[in-house]
Amino acid sequence: MASEPAAAFEVGRQVKPGRRVGAPPVWAVLIEPYALFLLFLLIVPLANVALFSIHRYSPTRIALPDLTFDNYRKIADPYYLRLFARTLKLGLITTVVCALLGYPLAYWLARARPRLQAFGLFLLIMPLMVSAVIRIFGWIVILGRKGLVNEVFAALGLEPVRLLYTDTAVVIGLVNVFLPFMALPLMAAIERIPPNLEEAAQNLGANWYQMFRRTILPLSLPGLISGSLLVYSISISAFVTPALMGNSRERMAAQQIYDEVLVSFNWPSASSLALTLMLLTLALMFLALYATRRAARLERGR
């Protein structure tokens, strides 16, 4: 039917230029591949996880067909409560440390000359380009019992400290990788602040610290919030870094989930933990976004 497409095209022209009758809108065509990808590789498995989480565990058949909320009830256990508390706490510490280190860095990058900025960005993103295992091995060399830090301590006549396989090591490792996720949104936010606002503040009598607190900080808050959300949500689901650098008994949630899936084969329990972690993250995100939008609305003076 050689004439058919042309005819359809002509009909389509009368309705709306460039669109055939009955054809899906352009946006649908554009997002279709990724939408399918998400549907089959994220939403379907996630629904499966959700289903597992409300089934009873069986050591022999993994999951029994009867429905139960026991997997969730179990999370009220002190063991699991501590697990989540530790996960959220380490996520929070990582986020705070990233913010503290990221702000000066982002400010410097935002105000640097273009060539210096490009070089700085390259250095900032470098940890992301190194394989996790190699990066962590590097940290083990530095933080280990006979590592660089302790050798320096020994040379100074100080007692060796236990760094590796502690929460400190986990935070160091997480900050190392996730700092760009904080610094980049911050940098983008600070770049949008005209430099002469800083000068205006100083002209009105603000020293550098007062200027920062009263202009840069409030005006870059959206960047800080999106950076914090990113860092927080990826650090509470971190697996490799806590597994290789943390204490095997003081775990983070992802390690527990991994163990329950692959070691004890308690898929229902692992599913409930995974969903709880996900819902916690989502809830925190919505809370933060709601707070920013409120702040933005206040700023516009409505």
Partner 1 sequence: MADGIELEVEGLTRRYSPQVAVGPISFEVRAGEFFSLLGPSGCGKTTTLRCIAGFETLNAGAIRLRGERLDDKPPHRRDVGLVFQNYALFPHLSVFDNVAFGLKLRRVAKAEIIERVGRILRLVDLAPLAERFPAQLSGGQQQRVAIARSLVLEPRILMFDEPLSNLDLKLRIQMRDELRSLQRRLGKTAIYVTHDQTEALALSDRIAVLSHGHIEQIGTPDEIYERPATSFVAEFIGNSNLLPATIVERGEREVIVEIERGLRLRSAGGNLAGDGHEVVVLIRPERIQIKAPGVGGTPGHNRFSARIVTVTYLGDDLRLDLELATGQMLQGALKNAGAARDWTPAQMVQILVDPADLRLLRR
Using CB under 8 A, list all residues that contact partner 1: 194, 196-197, 199-207, 210-211, 214-215, 218-219, 299-301
- Helical ranges in the chain per DSSP H: 3-15, 26-38, 44-53, 70-73, 78-111, 114-129, 132-143, 148-155, 167-191, 195-203, 208-211, 217-219, 221-236, 240-245, 253-262, 267-300
Between 221-236 and 267-300, two packed helices, what is the crossing angle to 10 degrees?
Answer: 180
Q: How far is the CB of 212 from partner 1 (least distance, A)?
A: 12
Nearest to 128 by CA among 86, 88, 184, 66: 184
Q: Using DSSP, state whether 198 is helix, strand or coil.
A: helix
State the minimum distance, in angstroms, from the CB of residue 204 to partner 1.
4
Closest by CA to 56, choosing from 249, 263, 215, 267, is 267
Residue with Cβ nearer partner 1 (168 or 215): 215
Q: How far is the CB of 214 from partner 1 (least distance, A)?
A: 7
Q: Please say which residue, 117 or 215, places its beta carbon nearer to partner 1.
A: 215
Dist CA 268 CA 63 (whole Å): 7
Q: Which run of H or of E encompasses 58?
A: strand 55-58
> Between residues 20 and 214, which has the closer beta carbon with respect to partner 1?
214
Read off the tokens for 109: 């990058």
Least CB distance to partner 1 at residue 295 (A):
9
Return the number of the residue (15 or 200) whose C-beta is nearest partner 1.
Answer: 200
Which is closer to partner 1, CB of 73 or CB of 297?
297
C-alpha span between 302 and 23 (Å, rounded): 42
Q: How far is the CB of 201 from partner 1 (least distance, A)?
A: 7
Rounded CA separation 104/102 (Å): 6
Place of tokens 């530790």: 86
Report, in Å, the least distance between residue 200 CB and partner 1: 4
Tell me whether residue 176 or residue 220 sits nearer to partner 1 (CB atom).
220
